[in-house]
Amino acid sequence: MTELKGKVAIVTGASRDIGRAVAIELARHGAKVAVNYRNDEATADGVVDAIRQAGGEAVKVRADVTRAADAARLVSETREAFGESIDILVNVAGGMVERRPLGAMDEDFFNYVMQLNVTSTFLVTQAAAPHMPAGSAIVNFASQAGRDGGGPGACAYATSKGAVMTFTRSMAKELGPRGIRVNALCPGMIATTFHDTFTKDEVRANVAAATPLRRQGNSEEVATTVAWLASDAAAFVNGANIDINGGTFFS
């Protein structure tokens, strides 16, 4: 049974799509949630309002989690709002920026994508971990692209998500002796604004048709898995990179 009553959670990139669904799902199971966002305050307000209207507790925290000072402030403001301990950290923040083949990438672009996806995960984990007691859980967001290399022009993104998978395994070993579990999810084709932006409609349709379940996934289906991983129901799951792709790709 997924039970998170009284737990304190940070969800980065929580203002839309999967991050929004994760924040709402954690709150639905009793967690107090810090809703992190970088730019869109209105959508973050919407997430907080949705949680509060359902009887939960939430605060919004603006922070650019690719910056160490902002990551530290995210943790400190969460602790000020809800107490000393952080019980759950979900690193959702990230992005592709745009599709660029190797010849069209420069060093700045490659480094920026790595910052969005890997550096952000590292910085928030580093800031939060000292305040996480035994029994806590970290859930990172990798991608199916981290396993199979991604689609055309996704080299930087896929590389960064592969790094998140390896970082997850490393942290599972380093933080496990303290009773902190670290796992990651590797979503495939999930119906979000990410794919609205970066994936052509015909490609999405073809992927859905080739998926054994014959459809795309949705953010809520991903969020329920996050809540399970964050709970004691997954108490012996550590260092796993879990696929959520309807059977499109088997790792």
Question: What pTM did the predictor assign?
Answer: 0.95
Per-domain boundaries in the chain:
8-244
Asked if 112 is an active-site residue, the reply is no
Q: Residues 2-60: pLDDT tens digits? A: 799 999 999 999 999 999 999 999 999 999 999 999 999 999 999 999 999 999 999 99
Q: Considering only the top CATH level, what class is 8-244?
A: alpha beta
Q: Residues 107-134: pLDDT tens digits? A: 999 999 999 999 999 999 999 999 999 9
Distance separating alpha carbons of residues 234 and 8, to the nearest angstrom: 17
Find the catalytic residue in 82, 141, 157, 198.
157
Q: Is the pLDDT of residue 195 over 70?
A: no
Q: Is the pLDDT of residue 238 over 70?
A: yes
* Residue in the structure block whose two tokens are 């794919």: 195
Helical segments of the chain, H only: 17-28, 41-53, 68-82, 107-114, 120-128, 144-148, 155-175, 193-198, 201-210, 219-230
Q: Is the pLDDT of residue 82 over 70?
A: yes
